[in-house]
């Protein structure tokens, strides 16, 4: 300590400590997105910038010389988060045909809502501290308000969702995703509270108990997913619209978002509502393509099957099979079987959601202890590869989804030694040829980049070689201003997946990601895309 420079502790707290090049480049992204959001005057760019804000928005916490956060800055930070929350509900676009967006959006909203929830709680508590300091409130009253700040913020954000939910179907969809993300953050926060402190105050007269509030969120989502669902208790009734027959129904976008957001609540189901897991799975199975309860809307059919895959995969991720009884394991396998039946049924018109869903489940299943899962994953991967081989006459979207699904499953299977290096190499060759023959197809580049990245960090030597070949080639295409737009867009997708954009879908953890070689590639991609974006803005 004696040899350390003076003031280094406070500098570190302020975020001014010397960072690595990686830290500086990556940490510049949120601030860059904020500037773009504030300066943008082009309506066409708003949805893309809003999506970037949803993924990255955060603000630093300013601390004083005593090392403690400064109250007025905390209060301001909370207000800024609240304002951005309202803006994003209106600006984030939802396009049901964009399958990759459908995959990312629930997790993106969950991440943002957790950051926003905690920032606004801190802001509320800081405001109360300042009121106490200036003699505006009694000590006991402030203590009660500080303890209940997490419930006060919950209800304030719920009211904000209510206010926005009367607007367009897209805004309604964002409201549902935001409400579910809020529910996850609230449940997590309550779990971390000390029961000793909780007993000091009686919050029930002023605030609905968390268990009841969470039940309302769950019943609201299930009522929107299935209009014939009979809720167990009260629901939030804001998301409905009158149909031609006079019934209260929800839009296709609202039903799609409600379905895919259910997977976010899996940790809540496991802890507090385990008996309802089967109910959710059966409801989603009944709405799969080809089933009697399947919706007429193409988008809804696709999202119901994707939602089922997301829900099962999240159950696998939470290791429910390790702690659950035999009945739960049988239920998971039965649900996967129903999803796979739709996935491989080529007579079904709208089964792309089933394919994606199966990919998510198999990827997470690789890391679980489900009986006979290894043989099942290996067989299913080969079936998916054959499906892609036979899909030449099918739609390009179907082929992109198959390629992406194969990439996710192959990486997970290779990382757990279910698939050997030679088989993984065969899959890599297949996707490389497909990408080279279709250089203006973003989904193929995304799949190839994901596969090469995943195999490379798991120690596949030939994937490492291909990564070093693809990186400069895609970089060159991105920078070539005369190249076709779709080709440049495909190269962007390839580049970002090559540096790990899809890691959350595959659940990979590897020390290789921390290597200086990998980090320098990531930095180069961030700097290049930032520069390309700024160059494009000068042309508008």
* Band of pLDDT at residue 241, cut at 50, 70 and 90: low
Hunting for tokens 């500037």 — which residue is that? 35
Helix (H, G, I), strand (E, B) or coil at 63: strand
**SS (HEC) of 438-463:** CCCCHHHHHHHHHHHHHHHHCCCHHH
The residue that leads in pLDDT, 27 or 511, is: 27
pLDDT at 255 over 60: yes
Q: How many Å apart are CA 538 and CA 412, to the nearest integer?
A: 42
CA nearest 352: which of 391, 386, 326, 317?
Answer: 391
> What value does the mean pLDDT of the chain take?
89
State phi, psi for 398 to the nearest 5 degrees: -60, -45
Say what the pLDDT of residue 1 is: 36
Tens of pLDDT, residue by residue over 81-132, are 999 999 999 999 999 999 999 999 999 999 999 999 999 999 999 999 998 8
Residue 309 CB contacts under 8 Å (≥ 6 apart), including other chains: 339, 353, 354, 356, 357, 358, 359, 360, 361
Residue 245 binned pLDDT confidence (cut-offs 50, 70, 90)? low
Q: What is the pLDDT of residue 490?
A: 98
Q: In angstroms, how far is CA 436 from the centroid of its own chain?
A: 29
Contacts of 2 (CB under 8 A, 6+ apart): none
| Residue 5 pLDDT exceeds 60 | no
Q: Where are the alpha helices (DSSP H) in 290-420?
A: 298-317, 320-323, 326-343, 352-365, 373-389, 396-415
pLDDT, tens only, 195-222: 555 556 667 688 999 999 999 999 999 9
- Residues 151, 153, 155, 161, CA torsion sign: negative
The answer, yes or no, to whether residue 366 has pLDDT greater than 90, is: no
pLDDT digits (tens, 9 = 90+) for 294-350: 999 999 999 999 999 999 999 988 877 656 667 888 899 999 999 999 999 999 989
pLDDT band (50, 70, 90) for residue 504: confident
């Amino acid at each position: 300590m004696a040899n350390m420079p003076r003031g280094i502790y406070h500098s570190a707290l302020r975020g001014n400590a010397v960072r690595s090049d990686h830290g500086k480049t990556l940490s510049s992204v949120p601030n860059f997105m904020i500037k773009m959001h504030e300066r943008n005057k082009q309506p066409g760019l708003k949805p893309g910038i809003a999506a970037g804000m949803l993924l990255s928005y955060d603000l630093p916490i300013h601390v004083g010389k005593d090392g403690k956060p400064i109250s007025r800055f905390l209060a301001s930070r909370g207000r800024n988060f609240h304002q951005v929350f309202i803006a994003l509900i209106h600006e984030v676009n939802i396009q049901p045909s964009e399958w990759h967006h459908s995959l990312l959006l629930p997790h993106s909203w969950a991440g943002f809502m957790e950051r926003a929830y905690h920032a606004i709680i801190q802001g509320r508590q800081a405001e109360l501290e300042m009121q106490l300091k200036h003699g505006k409130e009694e000590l006991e009253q402030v203590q009660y308000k500080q303890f209940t700040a997490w419930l006060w913020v919950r209800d304030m954000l719920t009211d904000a969702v209510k206010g926005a939910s009367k607007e367009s179907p897209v805004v309604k969809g964002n409201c549902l995703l935001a409400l579910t993300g809020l529910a996850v953050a609230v449940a997590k926060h309550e779990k971390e509270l000390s029961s000793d402190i909780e007993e000091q105050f009686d919050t029930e007269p002023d605030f609905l108990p968390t268990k009841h509030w969470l039940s309302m969120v769950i019943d609201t989502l299930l009522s929107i997913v299935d209009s014939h669902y009979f809720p167990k208790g009260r629901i939030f009734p804001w998301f409905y619209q009158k149909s031609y027959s006079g019934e209260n129904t929800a839009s296709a976008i609202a039903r799609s978002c409600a379905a895919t957001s259910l997977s976010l609540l899996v940790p809540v189901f496991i802890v507090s509502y385990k008996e309802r897991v089967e109910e959710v799975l059966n409801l989603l199975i009944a709405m799969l393509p080809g089933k009697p309860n399947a919706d007429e809307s193409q988008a809804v059919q696709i999202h119901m099957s994707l939602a089922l895959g997301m829900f099962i995969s999240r159950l696998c991720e939470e290791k429910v099979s390790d702690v659950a009884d035999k009945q739960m394991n049988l239920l998971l396998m039965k649900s996967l079987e129903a999803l796979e039946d739709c996935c491989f049924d080529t007579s079904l018109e709208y089964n792309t959601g089933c394919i994606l869903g199966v990919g998510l489940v198999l990827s997470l299943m690789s890391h679980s202890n489900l009986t006979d899962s290894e043989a099942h994953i290996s067989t299913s991967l080969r079936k998916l590869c054959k499906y892609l081989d036979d899909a030449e006459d099918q739609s390009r979207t179907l082929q992109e989804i198959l390629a992406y699904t194969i990439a996710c499953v192959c990486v997970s299977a290779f990382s757990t030694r279910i698939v050997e290096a030679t088989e993984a190499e065969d899959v890599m060759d297949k996707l490389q040829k497909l990408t080279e023959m279709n250089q203006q197809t973003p989904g193929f580049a995304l799949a190839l980049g994901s596969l090469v990245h995943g195999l490379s960090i798991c120690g596949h030597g030939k994937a490492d070689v291909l990564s070093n070949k693809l990186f400069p080639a895609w970089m060159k295409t991105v920078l070539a201003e005369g190249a076709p737009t779709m080709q440049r867009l495909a190269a962007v997708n390839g580049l970002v997946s090559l540096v790990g954009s899809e890691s959350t879908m595959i659940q990979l953890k590897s020390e290789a990601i921390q290597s200086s070689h990998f980090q320098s590639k990531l930095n180069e991609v961030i700097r290049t895309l930032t520069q390309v974006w700024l160059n494009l803005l000068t042309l508008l």
